[in-house]
Amino acid sequence: MELADAIKWYLVFLFSTSFHEAAHAWTAWKLGDDTAFRGGQATLDPTPHIRREPMGMVIVPIASYFIGGWMIGWASAPYNVAWALANPRRAGLMAIAGPAANFTLVILAAIAIRLGVACHFFQAPASLGFMHMTDSVDGGLPEFVAKITSIFFSLNLLLGAFNLLPIPPLDGSSIPLLFSSPSAAEAIFRFMRQPAVRIAGMFIAWNFFGQVFRPILLFAGHLLYPGVFYQ
């Protein structure tokens, strides 16, 4: 593994994760809870996110890259539980704002890839991978841009899809709040915040997601390159 590729991965991870948490914080602020905003989480600056979750923002991402060849990690934005219980639908919107931010970056990366293909800078890769959602026609700067764009696409697809799983403590577990009354929301919150439930949820999510992400990546590749078959 090249150090240069590790740096590319980490820079994309920092931006993508900060964007995810800033979306949570900004949405909560606009919907009436300024807890994360006052805590400095409504920003793309990774510093407050690293300060709050150094393990998930620094140690685990770097270790996962050198162990597995790709990065995973986490961050968090604080919120007012009383506000969430009183406004379950707003709390649900706050939760899905994070994955929505990641999917926004996926769409922007897809647009960049298609523009690159149209301008003959990029081409469909022989096989799909985290760093090969597109390949450059020539070396040099286009190759660097192709790798960065590929990481933006694949990493944010992973972060968005993983966090949408309806399993505590992931963001997708809060989707029922969009349709809940305050009394039902309290029961949901009480269940989701139990440490045993959160630990079991992460174990289940991690093992399940490993089986479904490759098909998700292949589906995204077929949308990027209609008529090209990947397996």
Q: What is the pLDDT of residues 105-144, one digit of tens each?
A: 999 999 999 999 999 999 999 999 999 999 999 878 889 9
Q: Is pLDDT at 222 greater than 90 in this prediction?
A: yes
**CA distance linking residue 171 with residue 163, whole number of Å:** 5
User: Quick check: is 21 catalytic?
Assistant: yes
User: 129-133, 150-154, 179-183: which has the highest mean pLDDT?
Assistant: 150-154
pLDDT class for 1, splitting at 50, 70, 90? low
**Is residue 169 within a helix (H) or strand (E), and if so which, with residue range?**
none
What mean pLDDT comes out for the span 152-181?
90
pLDDT class for 231, splitting at 50, 70, 90? confident
Among candidate residues 21, 53, 143, 186, the one labeled active-site is 21
Position 163, amino acid: N
pLDDT class for 206, splitting at 50, 70, 90? confident
pTM: predicted TM-score of the whole model, two decimal places:
0.92
What mean pLDDT comes out for the span 92-100?
96
180: CB partners within 8 A, 6+ apart: 88, 89, 92, 188
Residue 219 CB: number of other CB atoms within 10 A? 12
Which DSSP state fits 56? I
User: What's the pLDDT score for residue 54?
Assistant: 95
More confident residue, 130 or 199: 130
